[in-house]
Amino acid sequence: MENIELKTHLKFNPKFGRLVELNESSAKVILETTEDMAVDEEGLVHGGFTFGAADFCAMATVNEPYVVLVKATNCEFLAPVKVGDTVEFVSEILMKEKRKVEVKVVGTLNEIKVFEGIFSCVILDNHVLKKKKK
């Protein structure tokens, strides 16, 4: 499949997840963990960075300008991530019904699953922070 152009989350900092592949119903994001993501002297990476990269992978998969996350379910942190690790997130659309899209995202590190979750997304007509016109 051919890569398509990203239409959403255009200012997402690649430091927190770099989009490396984007197709019609899937995406791949790479998270290269750094020292400033650590929560202790052992180099354990805060789960928020893992979740954030997975969320970005889901948003890229939907790839609509005004997509928002409304719910994340069955999110499991299955193994620790440490400074220096490179986590690969891959996604697939499970369900698409009008404005609602469910995306499954799996994160792996050296072929070991470290994260898995379902992201429920909604496609809006306008930016979520813009006031509706009367």
Average pLDDT for runs of 10 along the chain of length 134:
84 96 96 97 98 98 97 96 98 97 98 97 94 66
**Counted domains in the chain:** 1
The pLDDT assigned to 133 comes to: 64
In a domain, 128, yes or no: no
Query: E strand or H helix at 90, and its extent?
Result: strand 86-97
Q: Kindly state the helix (H) or strand (E) to which residue 50 belongs, with its residue range.
A: helix 47-62
Q: Is residue 82 part of a domain?
A: yes
pLDDT given for residue 131 in this prediction: 74
Rounded CA-CA distance 51/30 in Å is 12
Do the beta carbons of residue 104 and residue 55 sit within 8 Å?
no
Residue 79: inside a domain: yes
Q: Could you tell me if residue 131 is inside a domain?
A: no
Whether the model pTM is above 0.95? no
pLDDT at 59: 98
Q: What is the pLDDT of residues 6-35, one digit of tens each?
A: 999 999 999 999 999 999 999 999 999 999
Q: Is residue 4 included in any domain, yes or no?
A: no
Report the pLDDT value the prediction gives residue 111, as an integer from 0 to 100.
94
Q: Return the pLDDT at 96.
A: 97
Sheet holding 112-123, edge to edge: 18-22, 27-32, 86-97, 100-109, 112-123, 67-77
Q: Residue 80 belongs to a domain with what CATH number?
A: 3.10.129.10
Domain that holds residue 62: 14-123
